Amino acid sequence: MGKNVIKEIESKHLDKEWSYETFEELFLNEYLEEEGTDPEIVKSGKNQVVYRMHNCLFFELAVKMPEIMCDTLHEDFHEGISIALNKKVKIKRLTCQGHGDRYCEHESEWQDSSE
């Protein structure tokens, strides 16, 4: 799913080059908002964006089955994004509503192209 999301975004914005700024603009502020997650940017700058989602779209399932919904599906979604972007971004989950936290928080770190 993550790979497909990136391909969908790219098809709409063929003139954009991926960077942490365009990732924040196109994935976080545009795509996630369109999907209804209403992300909150907590920190942005120097190749890193930390964001929170207070309204998990799969909250009921995540609370009942966090190992499947959060630990497997959600992590695989983010890995697909990283693969689609040639490993330019690494997304790490910091907190998770399915595991009892108040919100889901993620850190996306844009990797230097020389790595």
| CA angle (101, 24, 79) in 5-degree steps | 65
Tens-place pLDDT, residues 18-34: 888 899 999 999 999 99
Q: How is residue 59 written in tokens?
A: 């909250």
Residue 19 lies in a domain: yes
Domain count across the chain: 1
- Residue 49 to residue 21: CA distance in whole angstroms: 9
Which pLDDT does position 113 carry in this prediction?
Answer: 54
Q: How is residue 28 written in tokens?
A: 């976080």
Which pLDDT does position 9 carry in this prediction?
Answer: 94
Range of the domain at 85: 2-110
- Residue 57 to residue 67: CA distance in whole angstroms: 16
Residue 115 lies in a domain: no
Residue 56 lies in a domain: yes
| CA angle (16, 11, 24) in 5-degree steps | 45
| pLDDT of 90 strictly over 50 | yes
Tens-place pLDDT, residues 43-78: 998 889 999 999 888 899 999 999 999 999 999 999
Which pTM value belongs to this model?
0.85
